[in-house]
Amino acid sequence: MKRIELARKYLKVFFETQGLDELYDLFTDKLDFQGPFLQSNTAEEYIDSLKESPWESCNYEIVEEYENADSVCITYIFKKEKKCALMSQLFWFSEGKISKIRLIFDATDIT
């Protein structure tokens, strides 16, 4: 799977299917995730945190996608109930999987 396809698949699992165990196929074991509400150093830690705090119904609309030799960036509008926020996720890769994610947004937009 191409890098941009891996990033899109991650968003699809997160927002649409919520089949969180599928994420193990997309991530390296030492996934480095950082966002406003969560930081983790392994895929297991990140996925377990998602399972422990399931999210309510939300969706997204992709605004822009960028790809270069090292990374992918997807910017989208996150929608949950009457709140929405512009978010960007940057993805880096190793061994054909996502190895690092940075989630960037203003948390006050959705809290």
Mean pLDDT of the chain: 93
pLDDT, tens digit, 9 for 90 and up, residues 22-57: 999 999 999 999 999 999 999 999 999 999 887 777
pLDDT, tens digit, 9 for 90 and up, residues 53-71: 877 778 899 999 999 999 9
Among 16, 41, 19, smallest CA distance to 30 is for: 41
Say what the pTM is.
0.92
Task: State the Cα angle at 9 between 32 and 97, rounded to 5°.
Answer: 45
Fold designation for 3-109: Nuclear Transport Factor 2; Chain: A, (3.10.450)
Residue written as tokens 């119904």?
57
Domain boundaries, the chain: 3-109
Rounded Cα gap, residues 107 and 35, in angstroms: 10
Structure tokens at 97: 């999987």
Residue 48 belongs to what H/E stretch?
helix 43-52
